[in-house]
Structure 1
């Protein structure tokens, strides 16, 4: 009887461990886009708005293609003659990172901890950057 209970407990514990392993998700890894298109650029712009707000940004055709990071500097307000209105600003650049987890591309804003899944984008794990 005691052997039967021990066997049952062992089987339940094993099943629990296997279930727990399947439920854990892969840790996001730095990634780069495999291609850029107008659809992907529009998706990135929408994801950036979701993460940090504001107006759609002008993105370069190689954004997230050569690096998994994108730094966004805030615009300096200028008067009609093109001079800065308030002089220099000391606002830090905003960092966004492209990541891949479970074969999904994710755009992450590390400062807030927020992430947006990109459904139209194709990415691959980035090689270690020097």
Structure 2
């Protein structure tokens, strides 16, 4: 009987990892919340997001802008900086925006999301 109690207690203490998720309610307020969360995670200025960001995929890649001269040519030549990966996740019915490279996440209070199907 003691083993059964320990087994049940152990199951309750197990933390479930956040799962990949997709947005279910994109709106101007949700987009603004996402932009603020991105600034909090990676710094810099707010990024321009498409209206379908995180709707079709749980991942978003952000490339840094290339500075250009008045003729439209890159000022410093071609940049070699990799894109920044952000992921939308669901943890206990809450949406999180995560930056895997730093291990940091931001809770999104205005966003609704659902677990994403496995991507191939």
Fold shared, TM-score > 0.5 on shorter chain: yes
Indicate if the aligned counterparts of 1:25 and 1:102 stay in contact, CA closer than 8 A: no
Q: Contact conserved, 1:46 with 1:56, CA < 8 A, in 2?
A: yes
Q: Secondary structure at the match of 2:60?
A: strand
Superposed, 1:91-130 pairs within 5 Å as 91-130=81-120
- Give 1:79 shift: 1.1
Q: How does 1:1-130 map to 2 (within 5 A)?
A: 10=2, 14=5, 18-130=8-120
C-alpha RMSD over aligned residues: 1.7
How many pairs align?
120
SS across alignment from 2:105: strand
TM-score, normalising length: structure 2:
0.91
What displacement does 1:22 show? 2.9
Q: How far apart are 1:19 and its partner, in Å?
A: 4.4
Please list every run of 5 or more consecutive structure 2 residues that lacks an aligned counterpart in the other structure. none
Task: Provide the rounded CA distance (Å) in 2 between the counterparts of 1:19 and 1:39.
Answer: 41
More helix by share: 1
